Structure 1
Amino acid sequence: MENINYQVANESDIDDLVSLLSDLFTIEKDFSPDLSKQRKGLELIIKNRNTATVQVAKNTADKVIGMVTAQLVISTAQGAASAWIEDMVVHSSYRSHGIGKQLLQRTLDWAKENGATRAQLLVDIENKEALGYYEHLKWEATQLQARRVFL
C-alpha cells in the first residue's frame, strides 16, 4: 500500500469529496446523490472549523481516497459537547488497509480536543459490512432509533 497522507480537508478537496459521497449515498437507502447539495454541505462544514471537521486520507497523487465528517452538538445527557460523525467512506480500492480506522481515530481525537465526551454515528441497518466494521472497532449499538422530518 502506498503512503497515505491524513489531514483536514480544504476547499480544493471538495470535488474528490463529492465523488466519495456519491459512492456512499448510492449504498445508503436514506440518501440519494445530489452533487450540488453535497458540495454546499461540504463547503459549510469546511468553513465552520470551530465546530466541524472533514478528515481526509490522500494517496500519493494528492487525491482524496477516504473521508469522515464530524460536527459538535451539545449533549444534555453528557453536559458537554458530543461529536456527531457522518460520511465515513473509503474508496473501494483502498479498503481493508486501516485507512478508515485512522480517519475515525483522527476524528475522535479532534472531537476530544474540542471538548466532546462522546461520539455517535448512524449506520444503515442493511449495510452488513458497515455494521460489522463498527462492531469490530468496538462501537456500541444503542437503544435509540433515528427519526427524521424534512423542513
Structure 2
Amino acid sequence: MTDASTPTEQTLHALYRDHSSWLENWLRRRMGNAWDAADLSQDTFVRVLASSRQLSDLREPRAYLLTVGKRLLSNFYTRRSLERAYLEALAQLPEDCVPSAEQRWVLLETLQALDELLDGMPAAVRRAFLWSQLEGLGYREIAERLQVSERTVKRYMAQAYEHCLLVDC
C-alpha cells in the first residue's frame, strides 16, 4: 500500500484483508464449492467498492459483507435455476432451432434481468403485468382471474409500469 492511496482505498484494503477469508469460508460452507465461493466473495467486495456507502462508517463490517454476500448468493441460485429451466426448454427444441452459444448467453442475461425486475413487484401486480404483456389480456379478463375490480387492475398496472421505470438497472 503506497502513501498515495486514498482513504477509501486504504479502508477497502483493510476490510478485504480482515474479512475476505471469513466471507469466502462462509460462502464455501453454504455452496459446497470453493470456486464459486471465491467468485462470490470477490463479487461482494466489488459490489462494496461500487456502493455509495462510506466504508469508514461501517460499524459492523461482517454484517454488511454478509448482507451483500447473501444477496449475491440468492442471485447466484436464481440464475442457476433460470439456466436449468432454459436448458431444459432448449432440449425440447429441434436441433436446427437451437440458438448459438452467444444467443443463449444474451437470452440468459435478459432472463436474469427480467427476473430481477419482476422480483421486486408484489405477486398480484406481477401476475397482472405478465398476463397483460405476455398473454395480451385486457383489464376485465385480468380482473376476473385475480377476482378484483378493473380499477384495482388499473392501479396494479400503473404500479408495475412505475416499478419498471424506477428500478435501478
Larger helix proportion of the pair: 2
TM-score normalised per structure 1: 0.27
Q: Which has the higher contact order (CA 8 A, sep 6+)?
A: 1
The structure whose Rg is larger is 2
Higher strand share: 1
| TM-score, with length taken from structure 2 | 0.25
